[in-house]
A and B are shown apart, each in its own frame.
Chain A
């Protein structure tokens, strides 16, 4: 999963060199360089300041989420205020905060504190406690089937489209992984597998966010327009939006049932990330770079790339299901506290998404990668809708 906006983005704060065009197969005029002690390695105090910024904006999000409906009560905006969920405030405040830290030239220094991956994954482990194990068990079959159908289709479509538009082989692998599996996490994994350039990873991460942000609002709206049931909407969102944080945001906008199914589907897709990473490593080692004497990637590589938080998600569901069986009705209050904690971590992840978004990076690589990503996103939208509608028809949470 997620997600997302990421350690990679956070760690990579220096702009790509002028000569580095990550979007094409043209060779780089000069090697890109990394400052040994520049903004890519922010001092811990600045990273702590970054965390503080995320926490303050998160607290403001929680305050607005709870207060705006009260302020608007009785006015013409009451219905709108009640309908606006916390992901909207969190992302909007994150984008606003990102603008402020850019203007004040603080962004490169504090971005080490924007730990989107950690926030979203912790939120998803806690989300596991809200999902009865039987739901995961029943949803696992269709979720695995959906992942096995949608991920290869989208991956190879993106691979083909990127080839047609002349993208560099490594950027091709990054974009294909990001669109088909789980956004930034997959891009990071693929970047390690194919030894991609730093600016290619940073660029792919920015593309993921560029497409994820509108999807958070577009897909819940389309799910409503299409009259999708909550499980189908959740499966569609989970199988379509790239970055896990955005999946959680869109799922939360649709509702709790959709969020649960979206999380199960996205977690299943994340598990496939290890397989794709191993396949990419083998492909680039033996076909693209033809490294002499290279070893074939084994089970160790698979385990290294396995998303461990999926285990936490499952374990939390097992523990909470057992706890509710033992404690009965009285246990619901404790699970409610876990849900509050989960909401906090998701808010922090959404704020971080907004803070990490950088429009400038997208101008660096031209239109072709954007066209590939856009074409793949539309293809993913259609395929995931078709497959989710079939596999999750009649599913009940």
Chain B
């Protein structure tokens, strides 16, 4: 985040730290997105298999799903 960038490094023209700050800043969102995708991956497995189990044991009978 820009707020995490040290003010002195960001204010210096061509300061390598400013560029590094940019790289880490921007890399954070794809990483976060990647983690979200991984957790959604597992969530999809759990929800899908639980729904399958509920149908097979008769907890979700025919006609309930429109």
Which A residues are within 8 Å of any B CB, using their own CB?
Answer: 6-8, 11-12, 28, 31-34, 36, 40, 59, 62, 115, 117-118, 121-126, 128-129, 185, 188-189, 191-192, 195-199, 201, 304, 307-309, 311-312, 315-316, 319-320, 323, 333-334, 336-338, 340-341, 344
- The 8 Å CB contact of A319, one of B31, B56, B64, is B56
Given contacts A6-B37, A33-B25, contact A319 B66 (CB under 8 A): no
- In the complex, how many residue pairs between chain A and chain B have their CB atoms under 8 Å apart? 160
Give Cα A192–Cα B33 distance, bound, in whole angstroms: 8
Residues of A within 8 A of B65 (CB): 337, 340-341, 344
Asked if B22 and A188 make an inter-chain contact with CB atoms under 8 angstroms apart, the answer reads no
Give Cα A225–Cα B53 distance, bound, in whole angstroms: 41
Which B residues are within 8 Å of any A CB, using their own CB?
Answer: 1-3, 5, 10, 18-19, 21-23, 25-34, 36-38, 40-45, 47-49, 51-53, 55-56, 58, 60-62, 64-66
Asked if B55 and A121 make an inter-chain contact with CB atoms under 8 angstroms apart, the answer reads no
Give Cα A198–Cα B30 distance, bound, in whole angstroms: 6
Asked if B26 and A32 make an inter-chain contact with CB atoms under 8 angstroms apart, the answer reads yes
Asked if A201 and B61 make an inter-chain contact with CB atoms under 8 angstroms apart, the answer reads no
Residues of A within 8 A of B22 (CB): 28, 31-32
Asked if A122 and B52 make an inter-chain contact with CB atoms under 8 angstroms apart, the answer reads no
- The 8 Å CB contact of B30, one of A185, A196, A309, A311, is A196
Give Cα A123–Cα B25 distance, bound, in whole angstroms: 34
Give Cα A199–Cα B55 distance, bound, in whole angstroms: 42
Q: A31-B21, A126-B48 are in contact. List 20 more A-B contacts (CB 8 A).
A: A6-B37, A7-B33, A8-B29, A8-B37, A12-B29, A121-B45, A121-B48, A122-B43, A125-B48, A125-B49, A188-B33, A191-B31, A195-B26, A196-B27, A201-B33, A307-B41, A311-B45, A312-B48, A334-B56, A337-B60
Give Cα A36–Cα B36 distance, bound, in whole angstroms: 18
Residue of B5, B10, B25, B28 most packed against chain A (CB within 10 A): B25
